[in-house]
Structure 1
Amino acid sequence: MKIKKITRALSIGMMLIGIGIIAHLSFSPGILPAWNPAAFLEGEDGDHMVGKVVNILDEEGKAISQACRGVAVGDEIINSKGQHYKVVKVDKDLATVKSLGKDNRLLAWQDYFTDDRLEMAAATRKNGTVGVYHTHSAESYVPSDGSESVPFNGGIYDVGQTFVNRLEKKSGSQILYDKTPHDPHDNAAYQRSRRTSMKLLEQNPIALIDVHRDGIPDPNFYRANISDTDVSQLRLVIGRQNPNMEANLDFARRMMAYANKVHPDIVKEIFMARGNYNQDLMPTALLIEAGTHTNTKEQAERGVALFADAVPTVLGIEGGPAAGAQTPEPAITGGEGGGWRAVGWILGLTLLVGGGFLLISTGSLKGASDRLSNIGKEFTNYLGPIRNRIGKKPDSTKEKSKKNVADRAVADHRDDVTED
């Protein structure tokens, strides 16, 4: 009886995990569950974790950047000078990057944004609006707000309002500013803000911008004097776990290229992090970090105001290349997301079918173990004859079988002698 209970619990657990993975992969973006086992299996870390800083160095030990999020191997950075780096090693609070050289696409956009180009594009100005919201609505600035976090009413709202006011002035359009709070500050906040994003999408914006502040303790990391103004610089963040990543990244490149042309170095870098950040909803979705919690809120407000000067032009609502403008350089295709997605489907279906089979089956724990073993063999066969690719190994099963036959023969002979 006890064995059956264990088997049932195991089967139900397998089915729930399988359903969660399949739901994560197949449900439409707007109805993803607020919690799903797939996110747990991915091992996602929170971002803007005040007090947790990862120092990012190159292979020679030179400081490249910092982050207060879970940095992972595969994350990438493109700085304002066009230098492109990729994280190759992470050891607790230290990450190592290797240089990928200059980012040619960013350089191409920098060349594209010439005065002649912008004048020619001014005649094609179109109507459009931008959606603005805050996933982490409690984020605040210690020198101005007295705390790094003010639940449901963080100082980030003042920064967002300044950003919206400047956008409206520059574009001549009304900006869609949704102030829905999404507390608490946890991984599920992005699922809660997803509903806000979907609501904004109903009003057909041409871009969605999620405004944050960072959590790096050093105020000098973002502090700068730009256009004769004491400001906090911005960082643009793009999620790597997102089918729209290339389009979102190209939008970020355009924004950094033109914003830094108008106000040099107002955008510090583009950070490609592990995550989605709801950027799969549209190719012009962007997460911006306006300074950090140790900067003053006023510095952050002045920083986003300068950044806002560039947004309408890049989007084509104040002259300039439209949101759908083609990159001035051939696109590079490819990626590893599709392969992992396929593995996720296989794993999810295997767990679901295997759990259901166990649930309706009866018998001993050994029987359940045999069934699980068979499911594992089927999963391996589905992935392909991996063993044949890496070299044929000795067939230990046949050797064991021959040994067992020999042992039985010896035993039978011994029994015959005893009987005689």
Structure 2
Amino acid sequence: MKNKKRILVVSLLVFLLTFTMAPVSYGDDWYEDYGSHYKVYNVKDNKLIFETARLVYKGDQYMSGDNKLYQVIRVNKDKKTAYAEFIRDVELPKIDKVAMEEFVLALRSNEGLAALVAEEKARKVGIYTTHSAESYVPTDGTESNIEGGGIKDVAAKLAENFKKIGVEGVYDNTDHVPHDAGAYKRSRRTAVQLLREQQPNALFDVHRDAIPAEQYLTELNGEPASKVRLVIGRRNQNFKANEETAQKIKAVGDEMYPGLIKDIFYAKGDYNQDLTPRAMLFEMGSFEHSRQRAEKSTGPLSEVLATVVFGGTFEANKSEGKGEGAAGDQKGGEKKQVTPQEDSNEGSGMGIAALLAVLGGGGLAFLFLSSGGKEWKSKISNFKQEFNSFLGRKRKRK
């Protein structure tokens, strides 16, 4: 009996110590009032640069569709407006078009697909939806459905389209409702579970935006579709690797499917991208257009992502970071070869170390990170049950 008490006391002490040292999971920049979003203007001429339903903070960055980088320098939270200054034109990674075309042809052909599937090296990506209630009003009849929003159908379609090109898209359809300040903490559990059980080459969180529909409307192969916004968390030790991934996605997307990739937003949170250097958050259109538009975009997006993660050859400009969350400066056009993203480890060390900490000695910290701050006291009393759940929880697959 004394030994059991001693073990319990030690476990609680480890939990409290880990809690005080554990990094906070940022990324809950959400709005309950749909249609209420930030407008960001150019400080030089007051022209609108972009809009976003995410909270905007000083220091956030934005790369436009024409590859111009801006940084937010002033924010008015009451009026939901912000001002940004132009930083520079971004030169995206150069693509070996021949290698890219050969890879894409292999993806699209039966013979090539069979060859890719037969390879010993697994091609797998993990997919989940932090804001699982997000929906598309014209199709779903509401902007949010707590029982499972239209965004889950979009994520499932993305997984289906990956399968068509020889990539295993593992979609974990766990709900993380409500759409509140604890959603990313709850989805962190799902992300860790995917990484631990499936060991995917990349991890994708699928969302939809809440700004006017016209900003996302496009056509792909002559059919109505939605653009896709990439979101990177600035508070994230994998920032450089995530930025590299985002810029490659933009470069390949612009080449393969012009009009698909809308832009890149460098936001304040981390969006659980600290767990792996190959993580990305996608905004699949907006709530004011049909779900079918977003679903249409998942086919082209799957090809772009497969090319970036598993194939193709790139050249990138040598860059150096300029402070937390700052995109690197281009240095005199100097070139270097960059391996395909699945083999690139740049900026990955801290993320892998953090994941090992979560899966090993840091399991207790996970209990806090995977739940809202208000819930942590109750977690202590249920420590044993929660920890056992973390080691091997069972979920119903819908």
TM-score above 0.5, yes or no: yes
User: In structure 2, do the counterparts of structure 1 residues 315 and 116 end up closer, same or farther at CA, with 3 Å as the change threshold?
Assistant: closer
Deviation (angstroms), 1:24: 6.0
Question: What residue is the counterpart of 2:269 in the other structure?
Answer: 275
Distance of 2:33 and 2:221 partners within structure 1: 31
Q: Which amino acid aligns with 1:66?
A: E
Question: What residue is the counterpart of 1:64 in the other structure?
Answer: 49
Contact kept in structure 2, 1:137 and 1:181, CA below 8 Å: yes
Distance of 1:241 and 1:61 partners within structure 2: 28
User: In structure 2, do the counterparts of structure 1 residues 44 and 89 end up closer, same or farther at CA, with 3 Å as the change threshold?
Assistant: farther
Distance of 1:25 and 1:100 partners within structure 2: 37
Question: What residue is the counterpart of 1:221 in the other structure?
Answer: 215
Q: How does 1:14-413 map to 2 (within 5 A)?
A: 23=18, 26-27=21-22, 45-46=29-30, 50-59=34-43, 60-91=45-76, 92-104=79-91, 106=92, 109=93, 111-116=94-99, 119=102, 126-170=121-165, 172-202=166-196, 203-216=198-211, 218-316=212-310, 319-321=311-313, 328-336=316-324
RMSD: 2.6
User: In structure 2, do the counterparts of structure 1 residues 154 and 272 end up closer, same or farther at CA, with 3 Å as the change threshold?
Assistant: same
Contact kept in structure 2, 1:152 and 1:182, CA below 8 Å: no
Task: Give the 3-state SS of the residue equivalent to 2:231 in structure 1.
Answer: strand
Distance of 2:252 and 2:27 partners within structure 1: 35
Contact kept in structure 2, 1:235 and 1:267, CA below 8 Å: yes
- In the alignment, structure 1 segments of 5+ residues that lack a partner are 1-18, 33-37, 338-420
User: In structure 2, do the counterparts of structure 1 residues 24 and 241 end up closer, same or farther at CA, with 3 Å as the change threshold?
Assistant: farther
Q: Which amino acid aligns with 2:238?
A: N
Q: Which amino acid aligns with 1:93?
A: K
TM-score normalised over the length of structure 1: 0.65
Distance of 2:88 and 2:100 partners within structure 1: 27
Task: Give the 3-state SS of the residue equivalent to 1:330 in structure 2.
Answer: strand
Contact kept in structure 2, 1:142 and 1:295, CA below 8 Å: yes
Distance of 2:223 and 2:301 partners within structure 1: 13
Task: Give the 3-state SS of the residue equivalent to 1:310 in structure 2.
Answer: helix
Distance of 2:256 and 2:32 partners within structure 1: 28
Distance of 2:226 and 2:245 partners within structure 1: 22
Distance of 2:298 and 2:32 partners within structure 1: 18
Q: Which amino acid aligns with 2:37?
A: V
Deviation (angstroms), 1:187: 1.8
Question: What residue is the counterpart of 1:375 in the other structure?
Answer: none
Question: What residue is the counterpart of 1:353 in the other structure?
Answer: none
Which of the two has greater strand per residue?
2
Which of the two has greater helix per residue?
1
Contact kept in structure 1, 2:236 and 2:273, CA below 8 Å: yes
Distance of 1:281 and 1:43 partners within structure 2: 14
Deviation (angstroms), 1:70: 1.0
Q: Which amino acid aligns with 1:99?
A: F
User: In structure 2, do the counterparts of structure 1 residues 181 and 44 end up closer, same or farther at CA, with 3 Å as the change threshold?
Assistant: closer
Distance of 2:269 and 2:247 partners within structure 1: 19
Distance of 1:175 and 1:43 partners within structure 2: 24
Q: Which has the larger radius of gyration?
A: 1
Distance of 2:163 and 2:238 partners within structure 1: 27
Contact kept in structure 1, 2:238 and 2:276, CA below 8 Å: yes
Farther-moved stretch of structure 1 (92-101 vs 203-212): 92-101
Contact kept in structure 2, 1:151 and 1:183, CA below 8 Å: yes
Identity of aligned pairs, percent? 36
Deviation (angstroms), 1:103: 1.1
